[in-house]
Amino acid sequence: MPGEPAPEPYRVWLSEVMLQQTTVAAVTPRFERFLQKWPTIEALAAARDEDVLSEWAGLGYYARARNLIACAREVAALGDFPDTAAGLRKLPGIGEYTAAAIAAIAFGEPIAVVDTNVARVIIRFAGLESTIEQSRDTIREIVASMTPADRPGDFAQSMMDLGATICRPKSPVCGACPLAEDCVAAASGEPERFPARKQRAARPVRYGIAHWIERNGAIWLVRRPRKGMLGGMAALPGSDWTEEQPKSRSALGHITHDFTHFRLELAVVAHKSATGDGWWQKIDDLVDAGLPTLYRRAVESVFQSRSALAA
C-alpha cells in the first residue's frame, strides 16, 4: 500500500504476474495460497512443475505459469531479483510493464509504470483522440514526466488505483478525481468517449474432441504437451484443435470456450481404451487434478447431461 515500506520483490513479482488479464477478486485468494505453499522464491523454484501448474489451474493464460516456474528458477540461481527494469526485462515472462512495476514498487526506480488503468487515466487527462494501442508512446512520455523521483512506487500504485476505482471504463467518478480540474475528458462532459474504441476482428472458430474414458469411478487424464496451448496442464485426452469441423458424433457433453485469439467448440465423446501417457483420476477427487477451466467445464457438461437424462 502507498506510504508503507517497499514490499518484497517476490511478492510484487508474483502479484503482477497473476494480475495480468485476471481480476483482483480472482487473484487474491490464489496469491495467498501460493505464498502459503511457496513463501520464498527459492521454495517456488524447487517446486515440481506439475504442482505449480495444478495450483495455477483456473487462472487462465497458462503460459504465465510456465514462465513463472522458469523465472523463479533463474532468480534463485542469480541469488535475487535484478533491481532495475532493464535487468528485470531479461527474466522469463517479464515484459515492459511488469518490469517497470517491480522496479518502481519494490526497488524505488523512478520509471513510468503504465497498465491499462493508467493508460485510460492519461488518455482522458490529456484528451488524446486515439486508442490506447495507438497512444502508448505518448502515454508513457506523459507518465514519465509525472513520475516523482521520490516514492515512484507509491505514485505508480496510486495511479493504478485511480484508474481502477475512479477513472473507470464506465461511469467514471470525475467529482472524486484529483486530476479532474485539468482533465480534458472531464471538461468535455463525455469522459467515457475516451479512449477511442478499438475495432475487434471476428474471432475464428476451432473444433476439437475430448475423450471420456471412465472405469470404476475414475476417468483417464493426461498432460498436454509442454509447448502450446495449456502446455503441461492436466486434460482429457483427445484430438488436435483444427479449423475443420469434425463429423457428427454422439457427444456426452459439449462446450464453447473463448481463448484470446479464437473460439473453441469442444465435444466430449465416449472412448473405450486409455490413450496417451496419463493416470486414472477418481471422479470424487477431480478437484485435486488441477484441470484448467476448459476441461473442468467439459467434465461438468458431461455430468449435467447425465443429470438431465436421469431427471
Note down pLDDT in tens along the chain; length 311 residues.
Answer: 555 667 899 999 999 999 988 888 999 999 999 999 999 999 999 999 999 999 999 898 889 999 999 999 999 999 999 999 999 999 999 999 999 999 999 999 999 999 999 999 999 999 999 999 999 999 999 999 999 999 999 999 999 999 999 999 999 999 999 999 999 999 999 999 999 998 877 889 999 999 999 999 999 999 999 888 999 999 999 999 999 988 867 899 999 999 989 999 999 999 988 988 899 999 999 989 999 999 999 999 999 999 888 87
Output phi, psi for 147, to 5 deg. Answer: -70, 125
- Are 167 and 120 spatial neighbours (Cβ–Cβ below 8 Å)? yes
40, 8: one domain: yes
- Does 88 share its domain with 118? no
Residues 102 and 124 in one domain: no
The total number of structural domains that make up the chain: 3
DSSP 20: T
Cis peptide leading into 246, omega within 30 of 0? no
- Residue that terminates a domain, selected from 176, 199, 222: 199
CATH number, domain of 118, equals 1.10.1670.10
Task: Specify the pTM.
Answer: 0.82
Other beta carbons within 10 angstroms of residue 305's beta carbon come to: 15
Q: Which of 82, 109, 136 is the last residue of a domain?
A: 109
Please tell me whether residue 39 adopts helix, strand or coil conformation.
Answer: coil
* Catalytically active residues, by annotation: 16
Partners of 265 in the beta sheet?
207, 256
Could you tell me if 287 and 265 lie in one domain? yes
Q: Domain span at residue 282?
A: 205-310
- Within this chain, do residues 57 and 10 fall inside the same structural domain, yes or no? yes
CB 212 within 8 A of CB 177: no
